[in-house]
Amino acid sequence: MSRQYTREEIRIDLLRGISKEMGICETIRCVYDLVHEMPDSPEKLDMTEKLVDALWMAKKMGDRLTYYYETYKDKTGAWGEHLVHQSNDRIRELQGKRGSRI
């Protein structure tokens, strides 16, 4: 059974989460990093809510692919072979940037 995320858990993950690979979730977080620097506006709030929705969908998709693999031994996915691993320096930089928001 897939994990049920609350909207608040996703919002916190968007603000503070870090991934060692540059996959879809980390890309969404990096887009949020750019949006976070924008001046406050209705557009910024709308983009932030859409990024929360996108991260939620990405996590559900990842959970579903894991379920298919565990249940049916489905090995048709790329299984991370195209993910770009981030350096430890980059991870520390993101931790500092994202950790200071809350």
Runs of H (alpha helix) within 37-77: 42-72
Q: Could you tell me which residues are beta bridge partners of residue 84?
A: 22
For residue 41 the two structure tokens come to 């506006």
* pTM, to two decimals: 0.77
Break the chain into its structural domains and give their ranges.
7-99
Nearest to 27 by CA among 76, 65, 84: 84
Query: What's residue 77's pLDDT?
Result: 65
69 and 2 in contact (C-beta within 8 Å)? no
**Structural contact between residues 10 and 55, judged by C-beta atoms closer than 8 angstroms:** yes
Q: What is the band of 49 on the pLDDT scale with cuts at 50, 70, 90?
A: very high
pLDDT tens track for 53-85: 999 999 998 888 888 888 888 777 666 677 788
- Higher model confidence: residue 62 or residue 31? 31
